[in-house]
Amino acid sequence: MRYDLNLLPIFIALMEERSVTRAAERLGMTQPALSNALARLRLMLKDQLFIRERYGIQPTPIALELAPQIADALASLDDAVLGQQDFDPASAEQLFTIAPNGYVEFVIVPVLVAKLAEVAPRIKLRLTPYGNDLTETGVVSGTTAMVLGRIIDPPDNLVVQHLMDEALDCVVRAGHPDIGDAITREQFEGMRHVNVVPPGRMRAGLFQALAQQNLKREVALSVTNFFAVAEMIGVTDYVATLPRLICRRLAHDPRLHILPAPVDLGTFPVEMAWHVRYRHDPAHRWLRGLVGQVIGELAAPARR
């Protein structure tokens, strides 16, 4: 039997997107053209393949059985073709759209930009808001190259890579009248706190850590980003609980004093996610490697 191989990428797009609309957008097709291709797929594979549901389409058992075999075959073809394409970061001209959460934008993106200027001066970055929903970032549809932060409940069409685990410390103003080189539990609970509202998922992590330790705090001020914390702490007797790498950056500010948290608040993950279609893309693979390298350098123990 002869198969129309042009239909197989359409099958994979439908499997990964679970949406006729998103699959059509991804493939640059109209919805009627994609529906026509789906009808031909059903004839070729002798199965309904996808069933319409309220929030998209769901694959049939036969589609689920066929998907990994078809994906592996196409991936092997991609490797054969893309393997012949050299990616030279020094001369490449490309724009990557990424969605970092507030933590990543403050700590990691500046170092990444500096590294790009050094090794890939013609590559540009465009930052898009992280938001509270992965769909909003564009990573689920593949219009955004990657999302960086804490990834919760990713859909099947995203690949998630764990990058590091981050801890939490406290920051007060230098010369605080009540705080020396350590902060006790009683002092922590008796002080007024600056709280960073976004990013939403990481905020939940901090609140959960405080609850697990039964550690109370009075929030006197909520700000919308990490950049505002130094200014607020520098002119008050407030305290803020922040990720350790942010505190490491703030430690260079003579107005501020960094302290360990009064109890172990655990860690939260920093992750990177991207659409499966970019798994074998040479430029995207290179950028993922660079992000991993930058984070590895940042997470290394601070030199004294």
| CATH at 13 | 1.10.10.10
pLDDT tens digit string along 23-54?
Answer: 888 888 899 999 999 999 999 999 999 998 87
CATH code of 98's domain: 3.40.190.10
Summary mean pLDDT of the chain: 87
pLDDT for the residue 245: 95
* Phi/psi at 85 (5° precision): -100, 115
Domain that holds residue 53: 5-82
* Cβ-defined contacts of 214-220 (< 8 Å, 24+): 215/185, 215/188, 215/189, 215/262, 215/263, 215/265, 216/189, 217/188, 217/189, 217/191, 217/193, 217/241, 218/191, 218/192, 218/193, 219/192, 219/193, 219/194, 219/195, 220/192, 220/193, 220/194
| Boundary of a domain, candidates 21, 49, 82 | 82
pLDDT for the residue 18: 86
Q: Is 87 contained in some domain?
A: no
Between 137-146, 176-185, 289-298, the lowest mean confidence (pLDDT) is in 137-146
pLDDT for the residue 292: 94
pLDDT for the residue 78: 66
Residues 102 and 153 in one domain: yes
Work out whether strand 239-243 and strand 168-173 pair parallel, antiparallel, or are unpaired: antiparallel
Highest mean pLDDT among 83-97, 159-173, 213-227: 159-173
| Boundary of a domain, candidates 82, 105, 134 | 82
Residues 156 and 285 in one domain: yes
Residues 225 and 77 in one domain: no
Between 213-217, 256-260, 286-290, the lowest mean confidence (pLDDT) is in 213-217
Residues 117 and 135 in one domain: yes
pLDDT for the residue 286: 93
Does pTM top 0.85 for this prediction? no
Q: Is 89 contained in some domain?
A: no
Q: How confident is the model at residue 15 (pLDDT cuts 50, 70, 90)?
A: confident
If one counts the domains in the chain, the total is 3
Between 77-81, 115-119, 188-192, the lowest mean confidence (pLDDT) is in 77-81
pLDDT for the residue 200: 46
Residues 294 and 172 in one domain: no
Spatial separation of the C-alpha atoms in residues 127 and 101, rounded to whole Å? 10
Residues 75 and 104 in one domain: no
Residues 276 and 227 in one domain: no
